[in-house]
């Protein structure tokens, strides 16, 4: 197996051009240095030095030298980064569903620090299905996802419910002719007019949560028409343009010409939960951090 020591011996000998000086440089005696070089040449299947003319590189050795130097430099940087991270505390990779409002995301990310954990947070945003895949693959330690979702062996904290608001276009007074032709427009439960589609994110981002939301509207007597949006900012723009309505948990989302009212239907909250992989190394510590995030979610939901 090729090791860092093999590369150190090779580079030292290439630069010193003397076995004794190279051995002193890497902190060993000459016999183990010669043995290490022979092992490296056996692993690569080539001769790296021409011993018949002193200690000079062969053509293969010349080709290897810049790559060996780069590899040693990369290993050195990796050790330095690891040492800094260890000194700064544990690194936590956190994923957030895009439906998590900005203020709530900040509270969740700050929870480990406020609890006294020496944790460096790396935060990314992705759809619930992508977050589940990233946690399962070990590329994320924790994620806040929409519920319900298929967990496939991942562990999860309790479901936390957040109240939502309905954003609708400000009603404009119709002309007398429009009043006669349009008549009265009935409203479904929760105060949502029938005439406008509801802005939703793509179903594939969170299929189970999407279906629960749409089915809930349908069960309350609303004809369910939807329009797909990339994010809530785009949804707000459609509402302001009079083309859609939006259900949001973001209490700060508003715009001129947009009416905001509480969603009275108790089945329309935003459901969130924290997930992690209990099969990964350090899962006990991750579970402890997950509890901090769940507590942060719960406190925010109660406000």
Supply angle C-alpha 171, 172, 174, rounded to 5: 125
Integer Cα distance of 209 and 99 in angstroms? 11
Joined together, the tokens standing for residue 192 give: 């949502």
pTM over 0.85: no
16 within 8 A of 22, measured Cβ to Cβ: yes
The pLDDT assigned to 86 comes to 54
The string of DSSP letters for 152-202 reads TT-EE---EEE--EEEEEPP-PPPHHHHHHH----B-TTS-BSSSPEEE--
Domain layout of the chain by residue ranges:
4-86, 90-161+270-302, 164-262
pLDDT at site 26: 87
Query: What SS3 state is found at 249?
Result: coil
The reply to whether domains 4-86 and 164-262 share a CATH topology is: no
**Nearest-angstrom CA–CA distance, 68 and 76:** 12
- Rounded CA separation 107/293 (Å): 9
Query: What local confidence, expressed as pLDDT, does residue 130 receive?
Result: 95
Give the pLDDT confidence score for residue 83 in this predicted structure.
Answer: 57
For 252, the token pair is: 């700060």
Q: Tell me which architecture the domain covering 164-262 has in CATH.
A: 3-Layer(aba) Sandwich (3.40)
Helix (H, G, I), strand (E, B) or coil at 99: coil
Q: What is the pLDDT of residue 88?
A: 56
Q: Classify domain 90-161+270-302 at the CATH class level.
A: alpha beta
CA distance from start to end of the chain = 58
pLDDT in tens, the chain (303 residues): 788 889 999 999 999 999 999 999 888 889 989 999 999 999 999 999 987 777 899 999 999 999 999 999 998 887 776 656 555 557 899 999 999 999 999 999 999 999 888 888 999 999 999 999 999 999 999 999 999 999 999 999 999 999 999 999 998 544 333 333 344 444 444 444 447 999 999 999 999 999 999 998 888 776 789 999 999 999 999 999 999 999 999 999 999 999 999 876 666 899 999 999 999 888 999 999 999 999 999 999 998
State the fold for domain 4-86.
Answer: Arc Repressor Mutant, subunit A (1.10.10)
pLDDT, position 51: 79
**Distant-in-sequence, close-in-space partners of 51: CB < 8 Å, separation ≥ 6:** none
With a CB cutoff of 8 Å and minimum separation 6, the contacts of 229 are 199, 200, 201, 235, 238, 244
Rounded Cα–Cα distance for residues 13 and 33 (Å): 9
């Amino acid at each position: 197996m090729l090791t860092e020591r093999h590369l150190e011996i090779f580079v030292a000998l290439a630069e010193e051009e003397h076995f004794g000086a190279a051995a002193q440089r890497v902190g060993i005696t000459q016999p183990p240095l010669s043995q290490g070089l022979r092992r490296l040449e056996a692993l690569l299947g080539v001769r790296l030095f021409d011993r018949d003319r002193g200690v000079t590189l062969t053509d293969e050795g010349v080709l290897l030298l810049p790559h060996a130097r780069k590899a040693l430099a990369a290993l050195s940087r990796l050790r330095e980064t690891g040492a800094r991270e260890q000194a700064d505390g544990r690194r936590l990779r956190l994923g957030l569903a895009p439906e998590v409002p900005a203020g709530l995301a900040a509270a969740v990310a700050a929870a480990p620090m406020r609890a006294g954990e020496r944790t460096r947070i790396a935060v990314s945003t992705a759809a619930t299905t992508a977050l589940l895949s990233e946690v399962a693959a070990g590329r994320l330690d924790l994620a806040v996802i929409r519920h319900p979702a298929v967990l496939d062996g991942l562990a999860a904290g309790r479901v936390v419910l957040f109240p939502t608001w309905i954003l609708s276009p400000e009603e404009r007074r119709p002309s007398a002719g429009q009043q006669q032709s349009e008549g009265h427009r009935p409203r479904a439960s929760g105060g949502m007019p029938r005439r406008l589609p509801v802005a939703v994110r793509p179903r594939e981002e969170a299929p189970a949560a999407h279906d629960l939301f749409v089915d809930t509207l349908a069960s309350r007597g609303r004809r369910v028409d939807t329009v797909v949006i990339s994010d809530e900012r785009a949804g707000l723009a459609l509402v302001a343009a009079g083309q859609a309505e939006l259900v949001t948990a973001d209490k700060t989302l508003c715009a001129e010409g947009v009416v905001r009212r509480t969603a009275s239907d108790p089945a329309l909250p935003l459901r969130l939960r924290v997930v992690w992989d209990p099969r990964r190394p350090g899962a006990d510590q991750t579970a402890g951090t997950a509890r901090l995030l769940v507590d942060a979610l719960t406190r925010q939901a109660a406000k």
